[in-house]
Amino acid sequence: MLLFVVAVGSWIYTSVQGEFLKRSRDGQRRTVETIAAGYPAGPEDVDGWLQRLADEGGADCEVALVDGIPMPGDEVRARGNAELAALCRASGADPEFAKGFDNAAYEEIYRSVKDWAVAGSERALLFAPALNPRTHDIDGVLVFSFGTEAERGFIQMLRTLFGVAFALFAIVIWQMMLSRDPIVGFALAGLFLMALTFVAYPLFEAVRLSFLQNGHFSLEIWRTILTSEGYLDALMGSLKLGCWTATVSTFVGFLFAFAVTRTNIAFKKLISTMGVLPVISPPFSLTLSIILLFGNNGLVTRWLGLTGAGFTIYGLPGLVLVQTMGMFPIAFLTLTGVLQAIDSTYEEASLNLSASRLKTFTAITLPLAVPGLLSAWLLVFTTSLADFANPLLLAGDLRVLSLESYIEVTGMNRLGHGAALSILLLLPTLTAFLVQRFWVARKSYVTVTGKPSGRVMELTTPGVRKALAAAIFCVIFFLVMLYGTIFAGCFVKNWGIDYTFSLENITEAITRSRDALFDTVTLAAVATPIAGIIAMIAALLIVRRRFHGKRLLEMLLMTPFALPGTLVGISYILAFNHAPIILVGTAAIIIINYVVRELPVGIEGGIASLRQIDPSIEEAATDLGADSATVFRTVVLPLVRPAFLSSLSYTFVRSMTAVSAVIFLISARWYHLTVLIYNFSENLRFGLASVLSTVLIIIVFGAFGLMRLLVRENENLMKNVT
């Protein structure tokens, strides 16, 4: 069966290719005949005729004339197209040329069997007699050269096409014939294809390009990067920024988490909400309001009279401030989980043994929380390194890797350098991941006792509690002020100069961003269901099926989670701007990028949720006659609905607020709102930027609110299900 298909396939292939070549060569032959028929009668006209041919350039070929019919050993005299004539003179003794001349002598047209390099490109040569229309003598030999790129390009395309068709066909046949469950087989084949094409291949291309110089293997790029001061500065800058942000964020996050889990502080709900809120604030929004407040013309700067006094928010301190505001929620969430999981019986025991509260905190709570603190620190650290949006607006003189790779690509058009820099960015991330995985995880003291005890252990004296509350509400006040500033920015004529109330910004922003807004929402809305469904299918297959290469598939699908957005963006433009897959400039590349980047979180959620579900529920459906697709639709999807919904809202929100990868992938046709915000901010149109940020904030919060509502409804329905 397979042999038959191969035979038929190759027959079709050879005949299509043969037919194409025949047509193309017939066309060339006709061109040659037509041109040769125009050969002038008077020898004095010949040069003019050749010149006209060269000037017109209508036919896609060059022409040279060899005088007479040279015999072997004769010197070849040729004129016409300079490069071709030079080739004729140099290679006149070649057997191919001899054959061409021979055939011309018999008034035949001859096509050389091999290609020749003319002016740096491969050309096919055709030989025709220069027949004098008056004397009917053969004055010489006309040599024509035709480009072969088109032919070769076509053949390559044909081969790719047939290769892909054959691979698909093989998969179909293999599934139909050998597998008892073709639907699962197709789903697996599709996932593998997707993972290889859109995760492995772009990364490979990025790595490959960083080792290329002029098309050859070279360590040049890496040598430049690792020795030149500028790039090392950027590396140091990234690390410095990461360390500062991680340390401050962990501290703030711990204050919040400790207050919520170990004290009887008032307004706990508010603290928890404010401790999570910034995680979903769109990029640029916090930076924007920091600039509005503390920028060179900022409200606070002016108010304190700091303008021109050497104060600037641009640079390391400003970045640490804005990153901390945006990233301390990561530490807060991690540490809340850790502190909740540490049984407060230990602290009770310590107090019971008449240790003071301070002693209990330093001797019990803090040491137990150390692994949690470390993993929170590492998480913030890697997020800070990969951060792109904040440095883009606020870096000032500070050089950081993510920004540097963006400048290399968009500013200098040095893709290889950009790729290498973003790969460099991956190394600290990878190190952090490994430390987390193999050291922190092993040292964890989190006690697994089933249910966390609901009691709250009061670990603070009233004085300490007041100080804690003061610190926390300072942070909350600052956050509220930041959001308020963006909102206020919408209604001010010209921030920093003219604070009169105005709605102009809103109308202008809406008209100027209408297309981008539409694009952004469309792209996110298309990517969301695709990512959600694929994530659930992948989770189902990973949890429930045994198949070869499961670990590989899981790894490939989870990889994008760890990749900095700049690396993803750069590797996508590297991989998809040439054959066999050209996607740059299309909506598809952006959508695929969203899907691939947000899949890991959805898959994780789906896996966790499926592990809770008794496999016999699905088996029961199968047993009653449902095929895999029906089981998925009628049983699995409803059961993992909470995970599915949160994966949907997560993908939507992340796609609406994407910057780091998408900034490389947008085109004139498909634009993104966040990039527009960036452009407005760069041009100091802060009012417009504020309006767009507010719009984004509203959309994002709306999406989360909707998800919350749907999931809660769901929880009520499923409350008693075991």
Binding footprint of another protein on the chain (CB under 8 A): 180-181, 614, 616-627, 630, 634-635, 638-639, 641, 717-722
Query: For another protein, which is the closer residue by CB, 45 or 614?
Result: 614
Go through 426-446 and write b for each residue having 16 or more CB atoms within 10 A of its CB, e for each that does not: bebbeebbeebeeebeeebeb
CB of 604 to another protein, least distance (A): 22
**Residue placing its CB nearer to another protein in the complex, 525 or 718:** 718
Nearest residue (CB) to another protein, 130 versus 639: 639
Nearer to another protein, 134 or 180 (CB): 180
Least Cβ distance, residue 635 to another protein (angstroms):
6
Task: In angstroms, give the least distance from the CB of 610 to another protein.
Answer: 13
Query: Cβ of residue 452: shortest distance to another protein, in angstroms?
Result: 24
Torsion-angle region of 626 (φ positive above 0: left; ψ -120 to 50: alpha; else: beta): beta
User: Is residue 589 within 8 Å of 197, Cβ to Cβ?
Assistant: no
Nearer to another protein, 635 or 696 (CB): 635
Min dist CB 600 to another protein, Å, is 25
In the bound state with another protein, the residue whose beta carbon lies nearer, of 260 and 540, is 540
Three-class SS state of 64: strand
Q: Which is nearer to another protein, 496 or 605 (CB)?
A: 605
142 in Cβ contact with 68 (< 8 Å): no
Q: Which is nearer to another protein, 223 or 550 (CB)?
A: 550
What is the smallest separation between the CB atom of 532 and another protein, expressed in angstroms? 18
Distance CA 417, CA 427 (A): 16
How far apart CA 248 and CA 633 sit, in angstroms, is 46
* Least Cβ distance, residue 620 to another protein (angstroms): 4
Q: What are the tokens at 174?
A: 């293999």
Residue 136 φ/ψ region, left for φ over 0, alpha for ψ in the -120 to 50 degree band, beta for the rest: left
- Min CB(299)–another protein separation in Å: 53
User: Whole-angstrom Cα distance, residue 90 to residue 84?
Assistant: 10
DSSP string, 285-332: HHHHHHHHHHSTT-HHHHHTT-TTTT--SSSHHHHHHHHHHHHHHHHH
Minimum CB distance to another protein smaller for 397 or for 623: 623
The minimum distance between CB 545 and another protein, in angstroms, equals: 12
Q: Which residue has the tokens 């001797």?
A: 363
Helix, strand, or coil (residue 399)? coil
Q: How far is the CB of 176 from another protein (least distance, A)?
A: 13
Could you give the count of Cα atoms lying within 13 Å of 404 in the half-sphere of its Cβ?
26
Rounded Cα–Cα distance for residues 434 and 437 (Å): 5
Which one, of 690, 669, 430, lies nearest residue 561 by Cα? Answer: 430
Q: Which is nearer to another protein, 108 or 614 (CB)?
A: 614
In 3-state terms, the chain is what percent helix, strand and coil (to 5)? 70, 5, 20
Residue partners of 583: CB distance under 8 A and separation at least 6: 572, 576, 589, 592
Give the sign of the dihedral formed by CA 460, CA 466, CA 469, CA 475: negative
What's the min distance (Å) between Cβ of 374 and another protein? 32
Least Å distance, CB 703 to another protein, is 24
Q: How is 560-608 classified by DSSP, letter by letter?
A: GGGS-HHHHHHHHHHHTEETTEE-TTSHHHHHHHHHHHHHHHHHHHHHH
Nearer to another protein, 212 or 626 (CB): 626
Nearer to another protein, 553 or 697 (CB): 553
To 5 degrees, how large is the angle CA 178–CA 182–CA 184?
120
Q: Which helix or strand (DSSP H or E) is residue 423 part of?
A: helix 415-435
